[in-house]
Amino acid sequence: MNLAFVRARLPLAALALFVFAAPTRAQTAAPVSPAPPRAYDFYGRGPYRRNIPRPAAVLGYEAGATHSTFRDQERVILAIAAAAKDRVRVIEYGKSVEGRPLRLVLVSAPENIARLETIRQEIGKLADPRLLASQAEGERLCQTTPVITWINHCIHGDESASFETVLQTLYTLAASEAPAITETLQKSVVILNPVFNPDGHERFAVYYNSVAVGSPEPFAYDQRQPWAISGRFNHYRFDMNRDKLMLSQPESQMETAAFLQWHPQVFADQHGQPENYFFPPNSLPSNRNVDRARINKWTDIFGRANGAAFDRYGWQYVTRETFDFFYPGYLDTWTSLSGAIGMTYETDGGGNLARRRNDDTISTLRDAISHHYETALSTIVTAAKRHDELLRDYLAYRRGALAPPPANSANAPNSATTASATSEKMRRVVILPGADPGRLKELATLLLREGVEVRELKTAFSSNRAWNYMAAGDKMRAAQTQTFAPGALVVDMAQPQGHVARAVLEPDPDFEPEFVREQYARRVRNEKRNENEPKEGYDFYDTTAWALPYAFGLDAYWTEDAPPVEGRLLRLDAQGRADATGAVGGIAGGRASVAYVFRYDSDGAAFLALRLLQEDYKLAVATKPVRLGGRDWPRGALIARVVRNPETLHARLAQLAGETGVSVTAINSGYSDESPVGLGSENVVSLRKPGVAVIADDSVSQTGFGAIWHLFEREVGLKFTPLRLASLRANTLARFNVIVLPEGYGYAGALGKTGLDALKQWIGAGGVLIGLGSGGQWFTDKDAALTSAIPVGSDVKDDEKDAKKDDGKPEARKPDGSPAVPPKPKKPLRLPGAIFRAQIDPTHFLGFGYEKGEIAVPLEGATFLKPSKMGANPVTFGPGPSRLSGFAWPDNTEALLANTAYVVDEPIGEGHALLYLNDPTFRASWPGLRRLFLSGILFGPTSAILAPARRAEE
């Protein structure tokens, strides 16, 4: 080992970790102070096979000396695999966005490696019990088939200890001849995913290695990553440990497909870096669909084994704290829903070479690697020891998905809540195509990628116990009889992946009652504290609502009955898309002599219009219903006049219509029959070509920027320019007519008065400023004055503090823990993420195509908006109740949300400041709101779009 190399990268305290490798002599001199603890030895599970190279022999440095790059890791993995062919197989299952290979490394005993495909098929039978010939066959497979244990590494690229750990774990499994290891490999197949997020890790590692000196101080330069460098996220800056719900990223899609090929029984996901190591059992809440009793049993088994391993070294760890098990977008929750025992392991180090703990001790990257290494091996060995029991429980869980849970079972929900009662009764979900069959096909694709069986209805059927998703909450009165037409999607809960299906489709997931009571109790205690007293935090780790029918904006019903239906089981085609009927795009009526027209009621229509404008074709929009070609077209219809476009329009429009799935109609006469609104009407307004910039800066959320980037580049095909805030000056602004502000903070301060004045002048001249979430909420600041909307409670000093002091008497409470006589709310309490019903104005350009006038929207945070008094409020909340799904604070949320605005359009001169209270691009998880966002870009720059109404007022 080159100690000079190591010394250049590590502080002296960390360098001591490597001294153990040097030989020592017996000491005969006078007694000295006790020696420091011996450094952890990664090679204490011998004897080892001599032909298998150690990682350090390939790399030239010991574990933790530096951050290995992707190619470093690849060299070690391939070298070990080549030397240990009897135990190791490497499978490439895809490529990252930037083209790096994604691999699985399978390790097992030679006899198992020789029959991997047979083992995969046998596990497949346990995963789908319908394939078993008998109960006896299932029991035989549980006794004879190796258990599958999957260890996942580096989904967050700068949580670097897991990236390094896989090298030590693989070497031990491939080389050790210790009985504990060889017996484990006989009973199991271990799957190592070396790096889920290679692009993020490479971005981090290359930068970090270029500046690292190994200082543990929190203020050291190499303890912070620049905005564009941060390695936590993938190429598009998505947090992929939140992407299991939507599978928006290629890495997530391909890893999920590989998971569903192997159906592991244990899945451990390695992360970092809290103060102390975390492993399950988890904190509350937990998703009821994972079978809480099963997960509690097994996380306790693995937790005790991990604890025993740590106790041998005196290492610190924590369980049942912080990390919950509720949102199905996490890897651990989703894999558990699929039948594995999914667990998150958070190591206390990594992301740097060394760091100073709260008690001034030093934690090194090597420490963090050793801790992950111990839990990985402990998990693998424990799974093999409990082989038969794990497989039996797995089979029982998958078999249980084929039938609904019995009432009052250990897995049954708390029937005292509406959400629980709904989920328990839900047998089937039917999703209607509506006006956007393309979006329906997109949802079908997602469900198939999740492993959920989906059928496309061939003939109509009726349900006698159907419930409309949008009739939830206050509108949920009684089940109705509903007939469903061909083309709808049918998802039965009784299927092997039924727990996943229920989790992602159920309208309103439930919490454990004890969890909710604790949050209410904290609220009560907080309300009694004075203004400057510290308040207790709440235990919501992530969003509490996500039902896919709401997210996709599609009409859907869940039914209590499941009569037989005639439907076609859908499959993924060669492009990885559902082979559903979907939208068929193209031109009807041949070559137009006057114009082409298409409706603006689908995402594809927005994509098509933006791509045409981007390529300098001329489009117009009907701001009122229009009559063309003997047909009535709704407001928002888009028109391409032949005479105002080049000859290439005909062929290019046909091509793009096919790609976007939009039906375009050729018009050969401009005569509008009896309608006053025709092709030449002033209500048919020519659109301006959008020139789009998106702010990308230190004050901007990386995931917020990334979601916009992904939408524009991967879905719309819209070119844009990333800009720094400091660039928003008059000469730069003149190059764009749309500027998007992602989620962020400190916009007003960063712009300063000069920048803000220039921005207002630009808007007045016809620019469109679009603020998403916190990227728009600052419009309400007095210094910004970009809207007349104001936050609810912005003039209240105390946060719902009751003026009445505690008199020592117990306060009367309802059974759920909320106050019997609640105080009148003044400010919204922070929402962790829920879904609400909102009204949308279809006459406003942001509402074009939303003819029903009602949509589901996500709401997170503590900001509600009183409507603009000077501008328009195209999306609002009614008098309520409006909650559809997720957690809301009783006696607060609904009372303060009533009659507020969700989207505000503040006209400034010839332009617009558009404020979206929450980001519609968030995690690519709200396809139903894509068009609401894109309409601001498509129509906003056209100042004349509302000119007829303005002239009428004059």
13 pLDDT more than 60: no
Per-residue pLDDT tens digits for 454-473: 999 999 999 999 999 998 65
Collapsing DSSP to helix, strand or coil, 251 comes out as helix
How far is residue 438 from each of residues 120, 247, 430, 484, 873, measured CA to CA in Å?
A: 35, 17, 16, 19, 29
33 — pLDDT class (breaks 50, 70, 90): very low
Lowest mean pLDDT among 50-64, 71-85, 287-301, 671-685: 671-685
Strand partners, 831: 861
29 pLDDT more than 70: no
Of all residues in the chain, what percent carry a pLDDT higher than 90? Answer: 83
In Å, how far from its chain's centre is CA 851? 29
pLDDT at 799: 45
Q: Which residue type sits at 713?
A: E
409 — pLDDT class (breaks 50, 70, 90): very low
* CB atoms closer than 10 angstroms to residue 647: 8
pLDDT at 124: 98
pLDDT at 810: 59
Are residues 154 and 61 in contact, defined by beta-carbon separation less than 8 angstroms? no
486 pLDDT more than 60: yes
Q: Give, as one character, the DSSP assignment of residue 47.
A: -
500 pLDDT more than 90: yes
Strands 595-598 and 638-641: antiparallel
414 — pLDDT class (breaks 50, 70, 90): very low
pLDDT at 422: 66
Q: Measure the CA–CA gap between 508 and 501, rounded to whole angstroms.
A: 13
Are residues 153 and 166 in contact, defined by beta-carbon separation less than 8 angstroms? yes
Q: Measure the CA–CA gap between 157 and 202, rounded to whole angstroms.
A: 7
pLDDT at 472: 65
Q: Give, as one character, the DSSP assignment of residue 237.
A: -
In this prediction, residues 862-870 reach a mean pLDDT of: 96
* Residue 258 token pair: 């590989």
How far is residue 420 from each of residues 426, 558, 599, measured CA to CA in Å?
A: 10, 14, 40
pLDDT at 814: 67
Question: Cα angle vertex 790, ends 785, 795, to 5°?
Answer: 110
Are residues 707 and 923 in contact, defined by beta-carbon separation less than 8 angstroms? yes
pLDDT at 880: 83
115 pLDDT more than 90: yes
Are residues 820 and 812 in contact, defined by beta-carbon separation less than 8 angstroms? yes
In this prediction, residues 401-417 reach a mean pLDDT of: 52
Model confidence, pTM: 0.91
Per-residue pLDDT tens digits for 724-757: 998 888 889 999 999 999 999 989 989 999 999 9
Instruction: Give DSSP secondary structure letters for 699-736.
Output: TB-HHHHHHHHHIIIIII----EEE-GGG-SHHHHTT-
Are residues 520 and 386 in contact, defined by beta-carbon separation less than 8 angstroms? no
In Å, how far from its chain's centre is CA 170? 30
805 pLDDT more than 80: no
In this prediction, residues 477-488 reach a mean pLDDT of: 90
Collapsing DSSP to helix, strand or coil, 48 comes out as strand
18 — pLDDT class (breaks 50, 70, 90): very low
Question: Which residues, including other chains, have CB under 8 Å from residue 8's CB and lie 6 or more apart?
Answer: none
Per-residue pLDDT tens digits for 535-551: 999 999 999 999 999 99
Dmax (CA) for the chain in angstroms is 112
349 — pLDDT class (breaks 50, 70, 90): very high
In this prediction, residues 771-795 reach a mean pLDDT of: 94
947 — pLDDT class (breaks 50, 70, 90): very low
514 — pLDDT class (breaks 50, 70, 90): very high
Look at 954 and 292; give whichever has higher pLDDT.
Answer: 292
Half-sphere exposure of 685 (CA within 13 A, CB side): 22
Which element (helix H / strand E) includes 171?
A: helix 161-175
In this prediction, residues 232-240 reach a mean pLDDT of: 97
Per-residue pLDDT tens digits for 643-669: 999 999 999 999 999 999 999 999 999
pLDDT at 23: 35
pLDDT at 156: 97
818 pLDDT more than 80: no
pLDDT at 584: 87
Question: Which residues, including other chains, have CB under 8 Å from residue 663's CB and lie 6 or more apart?
Answer: 583, 584, 585, 586, 588, 598, 599, 657
In this prediction, residues 277-291 reach a mean pLDDT of: 93
948 pLDDT more than 90: no
Per-residue pLDDT tens digits for 239-266: 999 999 999 999 999 999 999 999 999 9
Q: Mean pLDDT, the chain, as a whole number?
A: 90
670 — pLDDT class (breaks 50, 70, 90): confident
- Residue 103: what are its φ and ψ, rounded to 5°? -130, 150
* CB atoms closer than 10 angstroms to residue 744: 25
pLDDT at 742: 98
* Residue 644 token pair: 């105002």
183 pLDDT more than 70: yes
